[in-house]
Amino acid sequence: MAADSAARPGRQTRPGQEWWRSAVVYQVYPRSFADSDGDGIGDLAGLTGRLDHIAGLGVDVLWLSPVYPSPQSDNGYDISDYQDIDPVFGDLAAFDRLLAAVHERGMKLVMDLVVNHTSDEHPWFQESRDPGSPKRDWYWWRPPRDGREPNNWGSFFTGSAWARDSASDAYYLHLFSPKQPDLNWENPDVRQAVHAMMRWWLDRGVDGFRMDVINLISKDPALPDGVLRGDGLYGDGSPHFVCGPRIHEYLQEMHREVMAHYPERLLTVGEMPGVTVEQARLFTDPRRAELDMVFQFEHVGLDHGRDKFDPRPLRLTDLKASLGRWQTGLADVGWNSLYWNNHDQPRVVSRFGDDSPRYRTRSATMLATVLHLHRGTPYIYQGEELAMANAPLRSIEDFRDIESLNHYAEALRAGARPEDVLPGLRAMGRDNARTPMQWDASPQAGFTTGTPWLPVNPDHTEVNAAAARANPDSVYHHYRRLIALRHSEPAVVHGDFTMLLPDDERVYAFTRAYGGTTLLVAGNFTGDTVTAELPAGWEGAELVLGNGPSAAAVTGRLALAPWEAVVRRLTR
Ligand code: TEU
């Protein structure tokens, strides 16, 4: 699919009809998807060999998490060369073969753009360590303040957000790990280098970007202290870098310099920790020419206590209030992304469903139905279509993720016992989402012929793609039917959203209305049989999609079996 690199005056699809509004995206975390050479790590050739599994769902886009050269300190979100492929995943020729195979199946490929920070092993950073280098101002270098860090910000991965460099006895900023120094987007040379790199991938045929923590790239240049966090050790710098002072300017410039030159072809989604609905309206308003949609974090923070590793039970009314607010807030302008899972979140069937053999399939298909019938673009994370569950992570030796390992070490330094810390890591750690994709019931689930970098979940003997594709009642085929419904029923894409039963702690119900069609969607978030009041007029409505034996008869009351979901349709 050749890039339209000629800058045509904005011939744009009418707002509201862009192709990505009816699209479904499938995220691949390549390290854990399919290994073709037996080294225990997934690779591009392995992914290319498994594309029919993805295409068989009917998805439109494949989002590929980073495959660039990287020391792998944060599993590729620490990039040391933006225009090549890490040898562990293959090479550019293998990438081109993957891209062609994706396009041959009528799908698009979106790359992960990680430009808030590079790896500390990127040549740009290595050059910047010399105070006299022209690259010095490509990063946030500051002299010590009273012999210590330039401000009190804490890192997302525990500890200070500053690291001292002996080469110049100065500090550099890293919101994540010390091996992920933040780029200085105040510097136009940085922005131009990023734009050139983006065009290089788009001219190669890539169809867009998922932009990693893109709302963190603009910092308050004064770098003021933050309010001390609960740990009393570090300040919360987020008011000074979340959706910072120049973020819209940077994104509008990126759109002018890059996206505008490839009209109607791209999908751009900004990952935005801390973004609000009001801000998302600005980021996704097509008239502002910034991004198509954003990943917000409100709904995946509702079960956080002191922090993410202090999980609390989810209240369904909180979830409905949060997702309902995002539906209302982006109803007349902008667009939502819709997700439960990704490589940073625990598996939703374990988190918000019931991953027991009895209710794993039923709760997974209920969660999928409720999410996919919202207004927005749904994202499916690898294995979600199989209802893959959290991994049996026992001791800290079972963990690989830098975020979990750093949290554990800091908690023990602060005096906690392992048995106090491990339950939160087991429930919420990112390794839960990163166990190898479960292809079949063979010893390593068909993921590798070698030793996997992270153990395969033992439940792969029952939970695997081969079994799912062979079973018409599987989660896989339910996702396929949901995607087919999105592609055939305009009310799913364009319908107005109205939340029902906002105060009910058991049932999530809403309607979608478009033209003469109204859809009723209801999901039972419990393991009990429940009934709920419904608006009149639904008696005998057509059952479009369900996941349970009872297929929830609708009279004046809605009766739902444990974890049952229904979609009914009325056409006036
Ligand atoms: O994640 C940013 C982010 O907000 C998450 O790290 C979040 O803080 C946590 O993991 C979930 O509670 C992006 C990438 O998705 C993540 O994999 C990277 O580690 C991070 O940025 C740094 O690039």
- Number of structural domains (the chain) is 4
Q: What percent of the chain has pLDDT over 90?
A: 92
Nearest ligand 1 atom to the CA of 117 is 23
**Which CATH number goes with the domain that contains 250?**
3.20.20.80
Note down the domain range covering 159: 123-173
Specify if 67 maps to a domain.
Answer: yes
Q: Is residue 488 part of a domain?
A: no
Q: Report the separation in Å between the CA atom of 465 and the middle of ligand 1, taken as the mean of its atom positions.
A: 28
* Ligand 1 mean position, distance from CA 344 (Å): 6
**Residue 336 and residue 406 in one domain:** no
Same domain, 240 and 367: yes
Residues with CB under 6 Å of ligand 1 are: 74, 77, 114, 156, 176, 212-213, 271, 273, 308, 343-344, 403, 430
How far does residue 156's CA lie from ligand 1's centre (Å)? 8
Mean pLDDT of the chain: 95
- pLDDT digits 0-9 by tens, 64-88: 999 999 999 999 999 999 999 999 9
With bands split at pLDDT 50, 70 and 90, how would you rate the model's confidence at 140? very high
Atom of ligand 1 nearest to the CA of 77: 23
Q: Do residues 26 and 54 share a domain?
A: yes
Task: Verify that 347 and 444 share a domain, yes or no.
Answer: yes
In a shared domain, residues 12 and 90 = yes
pLDDT at 1 over 50: no
Residues pairing with 28 in the sheet: 64
Q: What percent of the chain has pLDDT over 70?
A: 96
The CB-based long-range contact list for 306-309 (8 Å cut-off, 24+ gap) reads: 306/230, 308/424, 308/428, 309/404, 309/407, 309/421, 309/424, 309/425, 309/428, 309/429
Q: Give the residue, out of 120, 344, 345, with the most ligand 1 atoms within 8 A of its beta carbon, to mutate for a pocket test.
A: 344
Residue 193 in any domain: the answer is: yes
Q: Which long-range contacts (CB under 8 A, 24 or more apart) does 411-417 make?
A: 414/231
pLDDT in tens, 12-47: 566 678 999 999 999 999 999 999 999 999 999 999
Q: Is residue 490 part of a domain?
A: no
User: Is 370 in the same domain as 276?
Assistant: yes
The residue whose C-alpha atom lies closest to atom 4 belonging to ligand 1 is 273
8 Å CB contact between 302 and 318: yes
Q: Tokens for 175?
A: 């919101």
Q: What average pLDDT does range 466-481 have in this prediction?
A: 98
Both 46 and 63 in one domain: the answer is: yes
- Catalytic positions are 212, 271
Helical H segments across 247-395, by residue range: 247-257, 277-284, 316-329, 348-351, 360-372
Grade residue 555 by pLDDT with cuts at 50, 70 and 90: low
* C-alpha of residue 517 to centroid of ligand 1, in Å: 40
Residue 178 is assigned to a structural domain of this protein: no
- Please tell me the residue having the least CA distance from ligand 1 atom 2: 213
How many angstroms separate the CA atoms of 344 and 338, rounded? Answer: 15
CB-based contact 274:282 (threshold 8 Å): no
In the 8-state DSSP scheme, what is residue 461?
A: G
Separation between Cα atoms, residue 58 and residue 482, nearest integer Å: 9
pLDDT at 108 over 60: yes
Clarify whether residues 132 and 236 are in a common domain: no
Pairing of strands 542-546, 565-571: antiparallel
Q: Is 93 exposed, middle or buried (0-12, 13-18, 19+ CB in 10 A)?
A: exposed
Sequential DSSP letters for 288-320? G-S-SEEE--SGGGTTBSSSTTSB-PPPHHHHH
Q: Kindly state whether residues 554 and 512 are assigned to the same domain.
A: yes
* CA dist., res. 340 & res. 342, Å (int): 7
pLDDT of residue 9: 38
Q: Are the CB atoms for 106 and 92 separated by under 8 Å?
A: no
Residues 238 and 344 in one domain: yes
Task: Let me know whether 256 and 402 are in one domain.
Answer: no
Instruction: Look up residue 241 and give its amino acid.
Output: F
The CATH number of the domain holding residue 134 is 3.90.400.10
The residue out of 173, 191, 212 marking a domain boundary is 173
Q: What's the CATH code of the domain at 536? A: 2.60.40.1180
Same domain as 307, residue 272:
yes
In a domain, 287, yes or no: yes
Q: Using 50, 70 and 90 to split pLDDT, how confident is the model at 551?
A: low
Record the pTM. Answer: 0.97
